[in-house]
Structure 1
Amino acid sequence: MNYEYKHISKLVPRHRVPFFISILLTTVLSPVTMGYDSLMMGNLNALPQYLDYFHIRDDAALLGWMSAAVWVGSILSCFLMQQLSDKLGRKKSIVISVIVGLVGVILQSAAKNIAMFSIGRVIIGFGTQLSVAAAPTLISELALPKHRGFLGGLAFTCFQVGALIASGVTYGTRNITTTWAWRIPSIIQCVPALFSIAALVFIPESPRWLISVGQFDKASEVISIAEGIDIDAGMKRVQEIQVVIEEEKARVSSSPWKEITKGVYNWKRLFIMLTQGLVTELAGSSVGTYYFSLLLNQAGVTDVSTVLQVGIIQSSWCLVIALIACFTLDIVGRKPQALFGTTGMIVSFFILGGLIKKYGNSDNVSGSYGAIACMFLFQGFYNLCWTPMNTLYPPEIWPFKLRSAGVTVFKFFNCGFGLFGTFILPIGMSNLGWKFYMLNAGYDIIFLPIIYFVWVETKGVSLETLDELIGCPVVLDEESLSSVELVQVDGRGKSDKQ
């Protein structure tokens, strides 16, 4: 007997495959925007039209600020992430973030001076991070455990799609002699955001958020489609999830910010967020994005066209590796893949530093190509774990009541370290040369024992039982299930006991 879905929008697909395609269209477009911005700025740093217009060619500090300003907005957005996502829902948070980001792109594209350009980039960072926080949370709460690694990882993997598009666009505008050489790439940054708004009409709200606000009929219909089960089984899942949410409410105070530092298990979660933020932003990733052109110059590659061509190849390489990583995360697991990728990053940076020391200022073409190859290897190992893990792991290890707050904490660490790294990197790379890569590799070694001994494996585990891995058990017994009373809340705030 076919069930007539009456509570969710008619535009939401009723079958699993088109349903998840619609979800992915929205969740991946935010990272596309972020990836586009990252590589666009990296390539603009190689364009004379951009450097000369703002008079920053020989000012490493100002060059760093022009790229790093986006992180200031990202940090400021952390103060609203949890409130928007929990109060308004994941979907409305994405809408707000996209609109804010569009305002920033307009200011950046029309910039007449450094101040206007910087304000635009701050606003872009504010909007982008709001979306990048809400979208992965939405998909983690919709995906089945066996698919969560692929779907959650794919969200930020599309960072590389944006990076590839940015590489192609800036290469195409490189020969324009006016400021349109950098304004056109900036304007095109609007396109993913506009597509994201269009795709939102085809997706539902997170069923777990719907359950938390008493909209059980909607939640059961979303779960029925997402898990490919009938509506009665969907309502049973609603009841199971509600048990967990009620248990969380019993031990979580009204404010998640008061609860997030209570108990050894939550401090463990916070430490994991801290270390993931550190390795994501300060393990060397920005060298291959914002300052890839500086690395190529140190390796002896100075021609603008060649730098941009290498950027296109690099973006394609990173995208392929990140896509492979999305598939293997549900097979190999989060921890083994992170350990393998980080070890490869360390080895690659040690070799890169040695090659730049020996061949950086020489005419040896083979030495320069070897240094570039090592950077490609580094980026490959990085994208094998840290690109997909960026949006996958933080939502996984937090319970529902603390999930938005936990993701916000990760984004705060992530953005704070991103701001520090993006601003400091050009100064360090310019002053330390080859030693910079040696120091970075040595620092990355610290993360290996932390990942091995502290992190938890989340492969194939449901969100409702992940607490057990942290040391905070959740019990789903028949007595608990039978004692839960579902009180339906409609859109006007009225309730109806079921």
Structure 2
Amino acid sequence: MGAGPAIVSEGTAAYTHLLDPKPWYKNTRTSQTERNYTPIERCTSNLISPLRLITSSTNGYDGSMMNGLQSLTQWNQAFDYPTGGKLGLLNAIQNIGSLCAYPFAPYMADGMGRKFSILFGATLMIAATVIQTASQSVQMFIGARFLIGFGLTFAASAAPLLVTEVAYPSHRGQATSMYNTLWYLGSIIAAWTTYGTFTIQSSWAWRVPSALQGLPSVIQVVMIWFVPESPRWLVSKGKEDRALKILAYYHANGNEQDPLVEYEFEEIKAAIAFDREVAANTGWLSLVKTPGNRKRMRIIIALAFFSQWSGNGLVSYYLNKVFTAIGITDPTTQLLINGLLNIFNFIVAIGAGFCCDRAGRRPLFLTSCVGMIVFWTAQTICFSIDQQTGSTAAGHAVISSSTAFTMFLAFTPLIVSYTVEILPYPIRAKGFIVFNFLLSLSLIFNQYVNPIALQAMQWKYYLVYLFWQCFELVFCYIYIVETKNRTLEETAAMFDGDEGLKRISDNAAKHAGLTHTADEIEEKETKSESEVAT
């Protein structure tokens, strides 16, 4: 590859000229084809990304499983046909368990490593899934779901950090977006599992789906030993040799002298040193101590609530209630539509995730908001007509507009990747914990309020979400900034002003000995323009 400037204008990534331009499935730097790797090494290299990503599947599985179980007569009989507050607690208890783990999760991720945190959380979820499957009472079922949520926090807090910090630079946005997209993979498995077990005339109709919730965690516990640790975490702990080897292995086929690896390694060191120099205190107060961090937290807090208060909570946990309200009462039909909707949502989310680097984050957010408003309005109108006239066509139109609505739910692939991107390393784990904490709060509110409000207000409850979606559009237009084509360090520094971005980039370029600093390039470009004008 030809030489080029380390810093280019318009904020483009500092090492664009060092990247392999081929897409991820053809990229020779990550496909391990240029060295004589053993079969186990090649297998490991191809498996590690899915292993880091599947943590999100556990959470997606839960939402769809609880939706499906509510359509199973066997489950309703076992737990005395829960409704209202009791049903809300059964759905919300997993997120209550997650809330209780948030004070501890960032310290484990930062102190003991991303891998250990994933292993701990996955192990706890396996044990909790066994208890959930063997439940003999509603109290036992609730307790098991609490433990699943508690363990999920540790794994889900560390997994996206590990994905982001290990991914090849030009694949980072897509890889991290795929993390939350795999929520739908778990949702699909749960939807079709409950559909398949519907005909079982015993408690195994709901015990089988309960048992399968632990499958992603089992896979992670078995294979986590082959997953690399975060180079950024290793550097922060003084283990620079190991960090360099991991960067070389996964980004340059083992070549530690590769210019890209040298640049990444030096930039990581410079960024961590810079952040420590500017913010010696990386405690919780550092999240709001500087103007840049306050900008980050404003966006992160908003995205946490937007991701669950856009109307998708009705589809995720209480779709069967919506079906019943519009006259679709057959359990088989409810389960079938639930399964098909989840497959459709998964395909759409994958498409949005792969578009994040091509289209950009800001355009996707704005397009998502506009599309949601349009089709949620259509749902509201059709729902009101169905409620007032009993029109079958209007009821079917509710399902159609609901399907179209999910096409524009770009928050699913973007909320995690965007949150992780804009946080600098010292507060990345803590900031991501705040995001997850608030996301769980919004989920708990949804899970308690939605069934009660939907029963009391019927179609008018849809108007509440419509007004909120309009607020989301205004907020995203004002505050969401584009992060496409920036390195992690550049993205984090841009919130602290041009000086922070310039200092990190100049330090990395000088330490790596690659090319020139931003000032030198700007001076050179000014001189060239002057010569052309002359």
TM over 0.5: yes
Per the alignment, residue 5 of structure 1 pairs with: none
Deviation of residue 279 (structure 1)? 0.5
Look up the match of 1:32.
57
Aligned twin of 1:82: 106
- The Cα of 1:225 is off from its aligned counterpart by 2.4
Q: Note closer, same or farther for the CA distance 1:248–1:11 as it changes in structure 2 (3 Å cut).
A: farther
1:329 aligned to 356, 361, 372, which one? 356
Distance 1:19 1:221, change over 3 A: farther
Structure 1 residues 437, 252: closer, same or farther in 2, change over 3 A?
A: same
Q: 1:11·1:202 contact (CA, 8 Å) conserved in 2?
A: no
Answering whether residue 167 of structure 2 is matched by residue 140 of structure 1, we say no
Letter of the 1:21 partner, please give it.
Answer: N
Give 1:362 deviation, angstroms.
5.2
Deviation, structure 1 residue 129: 2.4
**Superposition pairs for residues 274-423 of structure 1, below 5 Å?**
274-360=301-387, 364-382=391-409, 385-423=410-448
Alpha-carbon spacing, 1:477–1:175, altered in 2? closer, same or farther (3 Å)? closer
AA aligned opposite 1:404: A
CA separation in 1, counterparts of 2:277 and 2:442? 35
Tell me if the contact between 1:105 and 1:187 (Cα under 8 Å) persists in the aligned partners.
yes
Residue identity matched to 2:489: E
| SS at structure 1 position matched to 2:407 | helix
Could you tell me which residue of structure 2 aligns to residue 219 of structure 1?
A: 243
**8 Å CA contact retained: 1:299, 1:361:** no
Structure 1 counterpart of 2:518: none
1:237 aligns with 2:282: no
Q: 1:27 deviation in Å?
A: 1.8
Change (3 A) 1:46 1:155: same
Moved more, 266-275 or 359-368: 359-368
Q: Is the Cα contact below 8 Å between 2:489 and 2:504 reproduced in 1?
A: no
Show CA shifts across 1:305-334 (max 9, x none): 000000111011001101111111111111
Separation of aligned partners in 2, 1:483 and 1:293:
59
8 Å contact kept, 1:39–1:167: yes
2-side partners of 1:467 and 1:163: how far apart? 32
Q: Are 2:174 and 1:150 aligned?
A: yes
Return closer, same or farther for 1:479/1:465 CA change in 2, 3 Å cut-off: closer
Displacement of 1:118 in angstroms is 1.0
- Give the 5 Å matches for 1:160-171: 160-171=184-195
Letter in 2 for 1:340: T
The within-5 A match list for 1:66-77 is 66-77=90-101
**CA 1:148 to 1:363, structure 2 compared with 1: closer, same or farther past 3 Å?**
same
Secondary structure in 1 matching 2:359: coil
Which residue of structure 2 lines up, in the alignment, with residue 6 of structure 1?
none
Q: CA deviation at 1:111?
A: 1.6
Residue matched to 1:121: 145
Kindly indicate whether the alpha-carbon contact (under 8 Å) linking 1:19 and 1:225 is maintained by their aligned counterparts in 2.
no
CA contact (8 A) 2:84 2:451 kept: yes
Aligned residue among 259, 280, 283 for 2:286: 259
User: For each residue in 1:9-51, what CA deviation from the matched residue of structure 2 results, as whole angstroms up to 9, or x when unmatched?
Assistant: x999767xx6663332212221111111110001111112112
- Structure 2 distance, partners of 1:95, 1:480, is 33
Task: Say yes or no: does 1:56 pair with 2:85.
Answer: no
| Deviation larger for 104-113 or 155-164 | 104-113
Task: Please give the alpha-carbon distance, in whole angstroms, between the structure 2 residues aligned to 1:368 and 1:315.
Answer: 19
CA offset at residue 404 of structure 1?
0.4
Please give the secondary structure, in 1, of the residue aligned with 2:482: coil
CA deviations on 1:223-271 (whole Å, 9 max, x unpaired) are 1123226202335532321111011111223443131111111111111
Query: 2:39 & 2:171 partners in 1: Cα distance?
Result: 20
Match of 2:452 in 1: 427
Q: Summarize the Cα distance change of 1:480–1:133 in structure 2 as closer, same or farther, 3 Å threshold.
A: closer
| d(CA) in 1 for partners of 2:446, 2:468 | 14
CA 1:298–1:11 in 2, change beyond 3 Å: closer, same or farther? farther
1:46 is matched with which residue?
71
1:440 and 1:177 map into 2 onto residues whose CA distance is 39
Structure 2: gaps (5+ residues): 1-36, 513-534
- The Cα offsets for residues 421-467 of structure 1, whole Å up to 9 and x where unpaired, read as 11111111111100111211111111112112112211111011113
1:136: Cα distance to partner?
Answer: 0.6
Q: Which amino acid aligns with 1:156?
A: N
Give the whole-Å Cα distance in 2 for the aligned partners of 1:175 and 1:480. 62
> What is the CA–CA distance in structure 2 between the aligned matches of 1:125 and 1:269, rounded to whole Å?
26
Segment drifting more, 395-404 vs 110-119: 110-119
In the alignment, the residues of structure 1 paired with residue 361 and residue 256 of structure 2 have an alpha-carbon distance, to the nearest angstrom, of 33
Give, in angstroms, the shift of residue 482 of structure 1: 6.5
% identical equivalent positions: 27
- Cα root mean square deviation, aligned: 2.1
**Match status 1:270 vs 2:294:** no
Return the match for 1:177 from 195, 201, 212.
Answer: 201
Q: Whole-Å Cα distance in 2 between the matches of residues 66 and 113 of structure 1?
A: 12
SS at match of 1:232: coil
Deviations 1:82-103 (A, max 9, x none): 1011001111110001011112
Which blocks of at least 5 consecutive residues in structure 1 are unaligned? 1-9, 485-498
Structure 2 letter corresponding to 1:95:
L
- CA offsets 1:35-84 (integer angstroms, 9 cap, x no match): 11110001111112112221134x21111110111110111121112101
Partners of 2:439 and 2:508 lie apart in 1 by 38
Amino acid at match of 1:411: N
Question: How many residue pairs get matched?
Answer: 471
The whole-number CA distance in structure 2 between the counterparts of 1:330 and 1:464 is 17
Q: Post-superposition shift, 1:363? A: 5.1
Question: Aligned runs of 1:193-204 on 2, under 5 Å?
Answer: 193-204=217-228
Q: Which moved more, 1:239-248 or 1:400-409?
A: 239-248
TM-score by length of 2: 0.84
CA contact (8 A) 2:263 2:509 kept: no
Contact kept? 2:274, 2:504, Cα under 8 Å: no
Larger radius of gyration: 2
Distance in 1 (CA, whole Å) between partners of 2:506 and 2:340 is 56
Q: Deviation at 1:479?
A: 6.5
